[in-house]
Structure 1
Amino acid sequence: MTVGLDGSGADLASAGWAAKEAELRGADLELLHVEDWPQNAPFAIPLPESRRQWGEQLLADTRERLAGEHPALAISTRRIDGAAAAEALASAAADADLLVLGSRRLGPIAGFFVGSTGSDTIPRTETPVVLVRAAEGREAPAGRAGAEGPVVLGVDLRSNCDRLFAFACEEAERRSCPLVVIHGWSPPPMFAYAPALDPGVEGEIAEGLEATLRGMLGPWRLKYPRLAVDSRAVIGQPAVQILEAASGAALVVVGRRIRRLALGTHIGPITHAVMHHAAAPVAVVAHD
């Protein structure tokens, strides 16, 4: 596992969450710092001659703190100079099972600031990326690896969700917590007035979607027979439904469609909304 550090307050939360997650997985943890200083940063930038020492000290201090809290965890450090942060993080993620990044809270209404580095890194890698938020006024993350609460998975029934199901089921099983699967939907425009004419139309659509969702989950229920799964096909904007279900979650899982064309990489609007407004850690999983 790799966690990216940039010296912001969110580092404490993301590194702490990553250490607990690494213990759950029985994995080693790599602390990574990339020297990619913006010209107009919102925090003080060290003088050019002190960049290397500052980065090394950041890694050393974080490693020392985590080693004291997790003495059995194997922790390594790495610093990359002169590279674009998003490209360097994506390249490092290629050799990791998981990439963890921090984000900070802007306010109860504005949500969380993911930042250009996080937003640029996610579309560049097929490795799952987890965004961890620092709880307001505290160093601890808003959600914790192993925290009480379910793993919440948002799915689109029109997509191939196997990677999402695999990731979410594994995370829920590691935590011994329930898995809540959400598909949000709205009636097609052509049926806008149909419920008034036939109250059964909306119900028939809902039953069909719920049956489809149960069918997609069937193989995963067999693979994880001890996992408690709550599947819901609910009317409403998907992002809103996922965020409502995510209140108190240990982890939220959403997808990003892999685009092979050079100009096609982006994060969809539902995943973008969840990334910026969910208080729990958010895992973005690339899928076909």
Structure 2
Amino acid sequence: MRRAVVAGVDGSPESLAATDWAAREAALRGVPLRIVHAWLWQPLDVPIVQDREVQTQSANTVLREAETRVSDRHPNLSVTAEVVPDTAVSALLAEADRAGMLVLGSRGHGAIAGFLLGSYGQQVVAAATCPVVSVRARGTVAREAEDGGEVVVGQQGGAQDSDAVLDFAFEAAAARGATVRAVRAWSLPPIFAYSPGSMRLADEAGGLEPFERKALEQALAPWREKFPAVPVIEHVEIGSAGQVLLSAAARAQLLVLGRRVRRSPIGTRIGSVAHAALHHAPCPVAVVPHA
């Protein structure tokens, strides 16, 4: 990945934590960092005093604080910063089209508390054309300060279905000297899904769990060859994908998940597993779009 890592900031502690994480990631990967703050002057139709100059200065201050913070910690990193005159979602999605990775701050657990950049974050994750990483304020800096550890990645479907997700995970692990824990969660199929054809492959593999292990092994094979120095743990477990992944990522440096790129009648969606991870994972979560 040669394109820049982009960090979206809004002045909150969460966005500053995201900027710290993005700066370290850019330094590890040897790519530039771009910091953006979306701000658009929109006079309110209410009887209160609004000072455009003051708000402009405030937006610039948010940007300068983040830029100075990064420059002090990573003096050799190439950094650009810009106030983008647009709404948050439009600005961030436009940045995603040009970025190698987009990094946003995450606010706490649960739908009531909200996450990412308020209600905008989910829209960005669901529609961005590049991987989006959600970073929490608490615990992230200390955890990322140490190399090693694990990058946990969820794998599902056939080998080609998870190429983009595994590529991102292995590259992240190689950059930080970490181990890849590849997780494949499975469950017993409902009775109506049984058929002679569908069960034949499982029988040939020796049962359902060996079949799942073989599928994971095949998906990992090309990435083991491409990244021979990256240790790999194959983790196959029966259970809900969300619960299995959250348990595996309890002490991880990064959790990597896929998001299938498709449109539904009610708009873009991130999927239930990614939704659970973004709300509850204690580590940064990367959501990678794939076909």
- 8 Å CA contact 1:132, 1:142 repeated in 2: no
Please report the RMSD computed on the Cα atoms of aligned residues, expressed in angstroms.
Answer: 2.9
Structure 1: gaps (5+ residues): 41-45, 193-199
User: In 2, Cα distance between the equivalents of 1:256 and 1:39?
Assistant: 37
Give the secondary structure class of the aligned counterpart of 1:265: coil
What whole-Å deviation, never above 9, does each CA across 1:204-233 have from its counterpart, x for those lacking one? Answer: 100111111101111111111121111122
Q: How far does residue 20 in structure 1 lie from its aligned partner after superposition?
A: 0.6
What whole-Å deviation, never above 9, does each CA across 1:28-87 have from its counterpart, x for those lacking one? Answer: 1111000158999xxxxx854422111111111211121111111111111112x22111
CA separation of 1:38 and 1:236: change in aligned 2, threshold 3 A = farther
- 8 Å CA contact 2:9, 2:66 repeated in 1: no
The reply to whether residue 279 of structure 1 matches residue 282 of structure 2 is yes
Counterparts in 2 of 1:65-80, with a 5 A limit?
65-80=69-84
Structure 2: gaps (5+ residues): 45-49, 194-201
Moved over 6 A (4+): 37-40, 109-112
Alignment correspondent of 1:7: 11
Give the aligned residue type for 2:17. Answer: A
Counterparts in 2 of 1:167-182, with a 5 A limit?
167-182=168-183
Give the secondary structure class of the aligned counterpart of 1:247: coil
User: In 2, Cα distance between the equivalents of 1:39 and 1:227?
Assistant: 53
Give the aligned residue type for 2:255. Answer: V
User: In 1, Cα distance between the equivalents of 2:54 and 2:19?
Assistant: 23
- 8 Å CA contact 1:145, 1:250 repeated in 2: no
Counterparts in 2 of 1:1-288, with a 5 A limit?
1-35=5-39, 47-81=51-85, 83-106=86-109, 113-114=115-116, 115-135=118-138, 141=141, 143-144=143-144, 147-157=147-157, 160-190=161-191, 204-259=207-262, 264-288=267-291
Q: How far does residue 128 in structure 1 lie from its aligned partner after superposition?
A: 0.6
With the length of structure 1 as denominator, give the TM-score of the two structures: 0.85
User: In 2, Cα distance between the equivalents of 1:277 and 1:110?
Assistant: 12
User: In 1, Cα distance between the equivalents of 2:8 and 2:146?
Assistant: 21
User: In 2, Cα distance between the equivalents of 1:142 and 1:262?
Assistant: 42
User: In 1, Cα distance between the equivalents of 2:172 and 2:99?
Assistant: 16
Alignment correspondent of 2:47: none
Give the aligned residue type for 1:163. Answer: A
CA separation of 1:190 and 1:87: change in aligned 2, threshold 3 A = same
- What percent of counterpart residues are identical? 37
CA separation of 1:281 and 1:68: change in aligned 2, threshold 3 A = same
- 8 Å CA contact 1:142, 1:280 repeated in 2: no
- 8 Å CA contact 1:87, 1:124 repeated in 2: no
Alignment correspondent of 1:43: none
What whole-Å deviation, never above 9, does each CA across 1:159-199 have from its counterpart, x for those lacking one? Answer: 7111011111111111111100111111012299xxxxxxx
User: In 1, Cα distance between the equivalents of 2:40 and 2:235?
Assistant: 43
Q: How far does residue 262 in structure 1 lie from its aligned partner after superposition?
A: 7.9
Alignment coverage as a number of residue pairs: 271
Give the secondary structure class of the aligned counterpart of 1:113: coil
CA separation of 1:261 and 1:270: change in aligned 2, threshold 3 A = closer
With the length of structure 2 as denominator, give the TM-score of the two structures: 0.84
Q: How far does residue 151 in structure 1 lie from its aligned partner after superposition?
A: 0.3
